[in-house]
Amino acid sequence: MKNIADGFHNISIKRKIIILGLIMILYPIILVIIFGMYNNEKIIKDRFVSYVENDVMNAKVRMSNDLDFMEEIFQEVLYNIDAYDLFRSKPKDININNTMLEYKFQKDMNKYLKSTIFAKQEFDLVTMQFVSDNSVYYAAKEKGLVNIGKIPKEEFKKVTEDNNQVLYYFDKEDNGQYIYLVRSIYDINSFDKIGIMSFRIDNNYLQEILSHTYREPAESTYLYTYEGDRIVYAGRNYNNQIIESKKLYLNEKGTYTHTINGNNYYVIVETIDDVNLKIISVITTDMLISDTRKVFDLIIILCIISMPIYIIIANMIYSEIISPFNLLVSKMKDIEKGELNTSIDIIRKNEIGYLYNSFNSMAKRLKYLVECVYEEEIARKNAEISALQSQINPHFLYNTLETINWKAQLSGEQDIAEMVQALSKLMDANMNRNGEKFSTIEQEIQYMDSFLFLIQKRFGKKIEYDKIIDQNILKEKLPKLIIQPIVENAIKHGIEPVGRGKILIGISEKDEKLIIEVEDNGAGIEVPKLKSINVELSDNKYIAEEQDNSKSIGLKNVYRRLLLIYGKEAEISILSTYTKGTKVTLKVPKTVLTKN
**pLDDT single digits (tens) 564-575:** 788 788 889 999
The predicted model gives 411-428 an average pLDDT of: 66
Segment among 195-204, 289-298, 356-365, 575-584 with least mean pLDDT: 289-298
CA distances from 473 to 448, 449, 510, 516 (A): 17, 18, 11, 12
DSSP secondary structure of 490-529 = HIIIIIGGGS-EEEEEEEEEETTEEEEEEEE-SS---HHH
Helices 553-566, 527-538: crossing angle, 10 deg rounding = 20
Question: Would you say residue 9 has pLDDT above 60?
Answer: no
Segment among 23-32, 180-189, 254-263, 467-476 with least mean pLDDT: 23-32
Are 546 and 553 in contact by the 8 Å Cβ rule? The answer is yes
Does a cis peptide bond (omega within 30 degrees of 0) precede residue 217?
A: yes
- Numbers of helices and strands, H then E, in the chain: 18, 17
Domains in the chain, please, with CATH?
Answer: 80-207 (3.30.450.20), 340-390 (no CATH), 436-589 (3.30.565.10)
**pLDDT single digits (tens) 321-350:** 667 777 777 888 887 777 777 787 777 667
In angstroms, the CA 596 to CA 594 distance is: 5
In angstroms, the CA 215 to CA 218 distance is: 7
Helix (H, G, I), strand (E, B) or coil at 189: coil
In angstroms, the CA 328 to CA 352 distance is: 9
Which residue would you say has higher pLDDT here, 577 or 21?
577
Query: What pLDDT, on a 0 to 100 scale, did the predictor assign at position 543?
Result: 42
User: Measured in Å, how far apart are the chain's first and last C-alpha atoms?
Assistant: 41
Q: Is the pTM of this model over 0.75?
A: no
Mean pLDDT of the chain: 76
Centroid of chain to Cα 410 = 85
In angstroms, the CA 410 to CA 417 distance is: 9
**Range 268-293 burial, b when 16+ CB lie within 10 A, else e:** bbbbbeebebbbbbbbbbeebbeeee
Query: What pLDDT, on a 0 to 100 scale, did the predictor assign at position 385?
Result: 40
Query: What pLDDT, on a 0 to 100 scale, did the predictor assign at position 467?
Result: 92
478 DSSP β-pair partners: 439
CA distances from 514 to 410, 540, 560 (A): 43, 21, 18
DSSP secondary structure of 218-247 = SEEEEEEETTS-EEEEEE-TTSHHHHHHTT
**Range 224-250 burial, b when 16+ CB lie within 10 A, else e:** bbeeeebbbbbbeeebeebbeeeebbe
Query: What pLDDT, on a 0 to 100 scale, did the predictor assign at position 244?
Result: 79
Query: What pLDDT, on a 0 to 100 scale, did the predictor assign at position 401?
Result: 58
Helix H or strand E segment including 265 = strand 263-272
DSSP secondary structure of 301-351 = HHHHHHHHHHHHHHHHHIIIIIHHHHHHHHHHHHHHTT-TT--------SH
DSSP 151: S
In angstroms, the CA 80 to CA 370 distance is: 126
Are 475 and 442 in contact by the 8 Å Cβ rule? The answer is yes
Segment among 13-17, 191-195, 491-495 with least mean pLDDT: 13-17
Query: What pLDDT, on a 0 to 100 scale, did the predictor assign at position 450?
Result: 82
Nearest CA-CA partner of 232 in 284, 179, 167 = 179
Which residue would you say has higher pLDDT here, 19 or 53?
53
Helix (H, G, I), strand (E, B) or coil at 266: strand
Are 574 and 534 in contact by the 8 Å Cβ rule? The answer is yes
In angstroms, the CA 214 to CA 530 distance is: 92
